[in-house]
Structure 1
Amino acid sequence: MQTIQSNTASSEANSHNALYSPICRFPTEILCQIFLYCMPEEDEWTLAPDPSLAPMLLTTICRQWRDVAVDMPSLWRKLRMEVEGDWQKKVVCYESYLKRSRGRQSLSLEIHDEDWTVPRSLLQPYLNQISNLAIELFPGADFCPVMAADFGGLQELSIYNCGAAGAVTHSVAQLPPNTHSLTLTNVWLTKPELSGFKPLAWASLTSLELMVGELNLIPCLLRLCPNLSSLMMMGTFTGEIETSERLEHTKLQSLCIHAASHFNTSESPRRFFELFDAVTLPDLREVEVCNIGRWPHEEFKELLGRSKCPLERLYFDGFVIRKKEELAEYVTLFPSLQIAMYGRY
């Protein structure tokens, strides 16, 4: 009996001490700041929710911490969902994130198959609050079951495709009106596919990164994205530009072209002459090229003269053949021009 009373007294003393420990007396505002520092680093957000890490861990310490953590939407605004097999056990965890975010949500979807029934029903009430969506299609996913147009509040969309070659086209055929950034990795769109999009399907985009197989795709992209300010293209850039009309794009400021390392350099000047001759870019400020072979200096200089653009930066990387005299001409045209060279040529 004495032992039981002693243990009870000890427990009460510990509870009393815990109640008056310094951290329990912190104002809620201080706890909120501490909780923010407990969150995983940016590169650790690739992990699915983990009970041993914040923010879930913070809800298990004590009632006060749980109440504060649950009432902090900023702790719950990044979620990675793994959509594969029997994932019903994870639904409760995922739904708690979506509910607690109470507003903008950054969501990563890892899709291994096309069974979208449960994820669709789970996400349906929150579609308009998801502002940043990243989708990874893994082998076994013959098509992407997610339609970008369903996410009314979407601002940024990125898709990494390891599934079937044409798995993504239908998903991005129409973007929500506020989507300003689109990144497509290992997604090779064709001109017939883009030509089938509605004229305003990508009109809201200001930033676009994608793979380009055909050089002829670029004018089509610029027409589809009249408000684009940044365009980054990676690919092979084969074929010719099949248009006699020069396209003026008044918003493009940054143009980045990364050709595959195995690019056929003997044909590259002709190809990029066609690109530079097909467009006028009056607001062009930054150009970056990589692995394009011989740099089409005269054609680029004609583009600059025709566009009367305020060029500020010019970057060369990888295999790009250029001459010092050519670079000096650019500096003469733009005295404050910054030129960076990272390749050997």
Structure 2
Amino acid sequence: MLMPDPSSKEITRAPVLTIPPEITAHIFTYCLTDFTSAPDIDTAPLLLGRICSDWRNIAWHSPELWTSLKVDRRDIPVALVETWLSRAQGLPLALELVIPDSEWDGTEVIAVFERYSQTWREITLDLPVEQLYLFGSDLALPLLERLTIRSEVFPEEGVVLDHPFRNASALRRLTLDRPVLLTSLPWAHITSFTSESGYLSPEVFLTILQHTPNIVNCSVAIYNENESDRLPDVAPQLVFLISLSLESVNPDALDIFDHISVPALRVLNLSSTLFSGRVLVQHLQRILSNPDFQLHELSIRIDGDKPKEEDFIQLLEAQPTLEKFELVEGSLDLLIAICRRLSDGSPLLPRLSSLTASPHIYPASEITTTFPVMLDALVDALSTRWVADSESFARIQDCDLSWSGQRTDDLDNIVAAFLPRQAELVALGINIAVNT
């Protein structure tokens, strides 16, 4: 700021204060975080009010600065929460309420939140189960698009919340990190469902799918305590489901595909499956051979027993529409087999444009014997597809290579020697990243 001349009777106004208030208010929005956060006098918007009276007046009357709030401490005054939300002046709100234990009674905060329910756009509730019941019945929720419910303590049978969110007609994105049974939700409106904490059984998951016919994106971690349990005899038609991410330690979880129809599925992520790769491939051969499956993106984790290379190649041959493929773990030999098929002119993955691989190196002797062969095969695959007939094959434009397992000085030296070849591929136009 410009300092006034002591001998002058005029006070020179700092140039920053000559900016029109509406422009200053817009600039203030860039001081906000990209996520909900708790009130802090050292961060916006409270910090802006500490600079000068002009800024304080602008900040206090700029509703877009007050549309996001996280309450996660009992020492946050309820009056501050009320003032904060009132300053939003009816703009859509993104709220998060975190009550870590039952000793903190959230009744007053919940009551304030409820008074503004008509402007909730997103809300995350992470609180003890008994405090979930503090929310009233039939809340007015015309703008609520995203609901997330978490809790550290739940009874085994789950929690039934019939009423608070039944009127959320705009709800599209639902995240449940515990087995909350929201029986009166507008399930048919849900387009995105996430449950990654591992509390869903295959039976419950299939029931959810049965009630979400308009689901587009789904990411779940499921368990199966009793392998003899039979899935319900239902066959939901999920004609809009495009992306499915499935995490499980039990291959029986894949039996879900025998009970659903997913003609629009384009993205299948199995990179978090933690069971035998050989068993995984056996299950997938049956699933991906279905002509209804025309995937564009596939991520697979090969853990435990390794599948036969020819079986895995056959699996990929069943999906000629693949554009992006990710192989997590797996052996160097498997990656070599895939790369050699990509470079020998065979019609394996003709539309492939992105390849990500993170093979597991074991034993250490593979570093000097097999790892260099894998690099050669990868370079051949990338360069061959780059110059191939564009009508027959797509170019592999993006490649991301990393690895796990054994590590020695020999490995570092081999990678260093590979850098010039990597530079040649980059010069061609291939975005190849080697992550050591």
Alignment TM-score, normalising by the size of structure 2:
0.63
Structure 2, gaps ≥5 residues long: 332-436
Are residue 188 (structure 1) and residue 179 (structure 2) matched?
yes
Q: Distance in 2 between matches of 1:12 and 1:163?
A: 68
Are residue 90 (structure 1) and residue 85 (structure 2) matched?
no
1:155 to partner: Cα distance: 1.0
The structure showing larger relative contact order (alpha-carbon pairs under 8 Å, at least 6 residues apart) is 1
Q: Distance in 2 between matches of 1:164 and 1:311?
A: 37
- Within a 5 Å distance, the mapping from 1:69-88 to structure 2 comes to 69-82=59-72, 84=74
1:12 to partner: Cα distance: 9.0
- Which residue is 1:202 aligned to? 187
1:83 to partner: Cα distance: 6.3
- Which residue is 1:281 aligned to? 262
Identity %: 22
Q: Distance in 2 between matches of 1:276 and 1:308?
A: 11
Are residue 108 (structure 1) and residue 102 (structure 2) matched?
no
Q: Describe the SS at the equivalent of 2:329.
A: coil
Instruction: Mark the CA change 1:92 to 1:168 in structure 2 (over 3 Å): closer, same or farther.
Output: farther
Q: Distance in 2 between matches of 1:148 and 1:52?
A: 37
Q: Describe the SS at the equivalent of 1:248.
A: coil
Q: Describe the SS at the equivalent of 1:316.
A: strand
Q: Structure 2 counterpart of 1:177, which letter?
A: S
Q: Distance in 1 between matches of 2:303 and 2:70?
A: 38
Q: Distance in 2 between matches of 1:184 and 1:71?
A: 36
Instruction: Mark the CA change 1:319 to 1:11 in structure 2 (over 3 Å): closer, same or farther.
Output: farther
| CA-to-aligned-CA distance 1:191-238 (integer Å, 9 cap, x gap) | xx57xx25x642211111113442222220111211111121113233
| CA-to-aligned-CA distance 1:212-271 (integer Å, 9 cap, x gap) | 442222220111211111121113233333334433321211111112xxx3xxxx34x1
Q: Describe the SS at the equivalent of 1:69.
A: helix
2:210, 2:234 within 8 Å by CA — same for their partners in 1?
Answer: no
Alignment TM-score, normalising by the size of structure 1:
0.77
Q: Describe the SS at the equivalent of 2:221.
A: strand
Instruction: Mark the CA change 1:79 to 1:58 in structure 2 (over 3 Å): closer, same or farther.
Output: same
Structure 1, gaps ≥5 residues long: 1-8
- Which residue is 2:353 aligned to? none
Are residue 126 (structure 1) and residue 116 (structure 2) matched?
yes
- Within a 5 Å distance, the mapping from 1:1-345 to structure 2 comes to 16-17=11-12, 20-39=13-32, 41-42=33-34, 45-46=36-37, 48-82=38-72, 84=74, 90-102=77-89, 103-111=91-99, 112-113=101-102, 115-137=105-127, 142-144=130-132, 145-146=134-135, 150=139, 152=141, 153-165=143-155, 169-171=159-161, 174-175=165-166, 176-185=168-177, 187-188=178-179, 197-198=183-184, 201-210=186-195, 211-239=198-226, 240-259=229-248, 263=249, 268-269=250-251, 271-289=252-270, 290-294=272-276, 295-306=279-290, 308-317=292-301, 319=303, 321-337=306-322, 338-344=324-330
Instruction: Mark the CA change 1:237 to 1:257 in structure 2 (over 3 Å): closer, same or farther.
Output: farther
2:114, 2:139 within 8 Å by CA — same for their partners in 1?
Answer: no
1:306 to partner: Cα distance: 4.1
Q: Distance in 2 between matches of 1:69 and 1:115?
A: 31
1:126 to partner: Cα distance: 1.0
Q: Distance in 2 between matches of 1:241 and 1:130?
A: 40
**Most deviating of 93-102 and 237-246:** 237-246
Instruction: Mark the CA change 1:318 to 1:298 in structure 2 (over 3 Å): closer, same or farther.
Output: closer
| CA-to-aligned-CA distance 1:15-74 (integer Å, 9 cap, x gap) | 823xx21111122244234312322x336x44x201222101212323321232123222
Q: Describe the SS at the equivalent of 1:233.
A: strand
Instruction: Mark the CA change 1:127 to 1:213 in structure 2 (over 3 Å): closer, same or farther.
Output: closer
Q: Distance in 1 between matches of 2:31 and 2:235?
A: 54
Count of paired positions = 311
1:133 to partner: Cα distance: 0.5
**Which structure shows the bigger proportion of residues in strand conformation?**
1
| CA-to-aligned-CA distance 1:281-313 (integer Å, 9 cap, x gap) | 111111112234134445434444546133111
